[in-house]
Amino acid sequence: MQKQLDFFLFLGSTYTYLAVNRAEALATREGLSLRWRPFSVRSIMIEQNNRPFVGKPVKLAYMWRDLERRAQRHNIPFTSIPNYPNDADELAGRVATLAATEGWCPAFARAAYGAWFLEDKDPGRVEHLAAVLQSLAKDPDKIIALANSQEVRDRYAAETEVARSLGIFGSPSFVYQREVFWGDDRLEDAIDWCKAH
């Protein structure tokens, strides 16, 4: 049976752009299945007073430069620094939760990040989100209503609680059993660990 690596992701995270665009292909090539698990890392970071960039302009500037270089390294498009933070109400995050239950999270996450990073359109805004959903042949009104339902809100919160209980504090995080790997730059480590254990 194929081993399964959990991929905890937050759609407002910058480096998660890289993971969304390369994790699935890499996992598949290595014979693993990837379980996409959207969650609210923002809630956890606020709880833990973990704000790596707020009031830290030098570190923030470095992050974008590093992210640009890493994108080049992995042949992922990067044009310019988009507005950040985004998705204030985590609506796009909850759509990802719905998409994960229905099997279209990888495509949605890539499209949402494409809007954000390549067109500077915040996928948390309804008009941009609607365009992303239409590009995937989804009905925006229906999907957005579901993303705002209590059921999806509860699911998003429950996944956040799972992440919290695992000691996750950042996105992306990759988990096999209870072993946590944080960061797109730990994807290879996570895959190696998963294969070896």
Q: Note the residues at the interface with a copy of itself (CB under 8 A).
A: 48-50, 52, 55-56, 58-59, 61-62, 65-66, 69-70, 73, 167, 169, 180-182, 185-186, 189, 192-193
Nearer to a copy of itself, 57 or 103 (CB): 57
Nearer to a copy of itself, 140 or 183 (CB): 183
Nearer to a copy of itself, 62 or 145 (CB): 62
CB of 100 to a copy of itself, least distance (A): 24
Nearer to a copy of itself, 71 or 92 (CB): 71
CB of 28 to a copy of itself, least distance (A): 23
3-class DSSP string for the chain = CCCEEEEEECCCCCCHHHHHHHHHHHHHHCCCEEEEEECCHHHHHHHCCCCCCCCCHHHHHHHHHHHHHHHHHCCCCCCCCCCCCCCCCCHHHHHHHHHHHHCCHHHHHHHHHHHHHHHCCCCCCHHHHHHHHHHCCCCHHHHHHHHCCHHHHHHHHHHHHHHHHCCCCCCCEEEECCEEEECHHHHHHHHHHHHHC
Nearer to a copy of itself, 105 or 163 (CB): 163
CA distance 5 to 190: 8
CB of 141 to a copy of itself, least distance (A): 39
CB of 169 to a copy of itself, least distance (A): 5
Alpha carbon of 158 to those of 143, 154, 178: distances in Å? Answer: 20, 6, 17
CB of 2 to a copy of itself, least distance (A): 23
Provide the token pair at 13.
Answer: 């995270």
CB of 56 to a copy of itself, least distance (A): 6
Nearer to a copy of itself, 8 or 116 (CB): 8
